[in-house]
Structure 1
Amino acid sequence: MDNSEESKEARDQTELVSEDGKNSKTVLCQRCGSKVLCPGMAIFAEKELFLPSMRKKSGLSTTEGSVDGDTLTVHWLVNDMFDFENVGFTNDVGRIKYLICADCEIGPIGWHCLDDKKSYYIALERVNHA
């Protein structure tokens, strides 16, 4: 990543994160525009997580070999699943449930480990903000 990309990413994050570290804008599904989170409901967090490539729910199951996807590092961290406006969960994939849009079922937009009942991550790159 060159310096112009890094500074744009940092500037974008500053516009999205309030002074108290929470999302300052509404988080929306990239595909259908459905509201995922209201402003102030999630904390900005940096954590390396692997998310499979974005697909409709039926395409999320693992096939022979490895799964295509991305390792993403910037997320919205939500501590209570009831803070979401509109999110769905995939079936368990090992100890992980992937988060998807409950309306159009595109995803994964996020990640939740079953070992940690209070950590739901939404990847900033997989959602829009308004």
Structure 2
Amino acid sequence: MAAPCAEMEPAAAPPPSPPPAAAALDAAALVCAQGRNLKAVLCQRCGSRVLLPGAATFARRELLLPAMRKKAAAAAAGGGGDGDVVREHWLVRDMFSFENVGFTRDVGNVKFLVCADCEAGPIGWHCLDDKDSFYVALERVTHE
């Protein structure tokens, strides 16, 4: 299990990168000095807790996520069509660190992460070639 950040103090601002096209997020307010999440990560739709504070590491990686919808529709879309390029993520190294997350069926070699309670998503991405990397998009979740 991930060790929570010592005293969970805010870190210096992460290195600059272009902000997402959607609402720009203040990642510095969400990341502690050790690079972990300061706040709990929640589903935008139902408020279900996805990650506890300190369970994930801030990461920048450009990923294309399909538009938000229920799990069955996201799997049927096959990741194609409309979507968003997302650059800021919480990187989780152990799937058992999640409090509440579901997965779509395989779409090629990718599974998309969804809220296990309301099935809204995708909120994140997991490549089956890398068993230890689960990405949760900051702009697809809320923080508390």
Identity between Structure 1 and Structure 2 (%): 61
- Equivalent position to 2:58, from 32, 44, 53: 44
- Runs of 4+ with >6 A deviation: none
Letter of the 2:113 counterpart = L
Letter of the 1:50 counterpart = L
Match of 1:62 in 2: 77
Is 2:132 the counterpart of 1:118? yes
Give the structure with the larger helix fraction. 1
Letter of the 1:120 counterpart = F
Greater Cα shift, 52-61 or 111-120? 52-61
Measure the CA separation in 1 of the matches of 2:24 and 2:60: 13
Greater Cα shift, 103-112 or 66-75? 66-75
Match of 1:73 in 2: 87
Per the normalisation by structure 2, the TM-score is 0.81
Measure the CA separation in 2 of the matches of 1:24 and 1:32: 21
RMSD of aligned alpha carbons: 1.7
Is 2:116 the counterpart of 1:127? no
Partner SS, residue 31 of structure 1: coil
Structure 1: gaps (5+ residues): none
Structure 2: gaps (5+ residues): 1-17
Per the normalisation by structure 1, the TM-score is 0.89
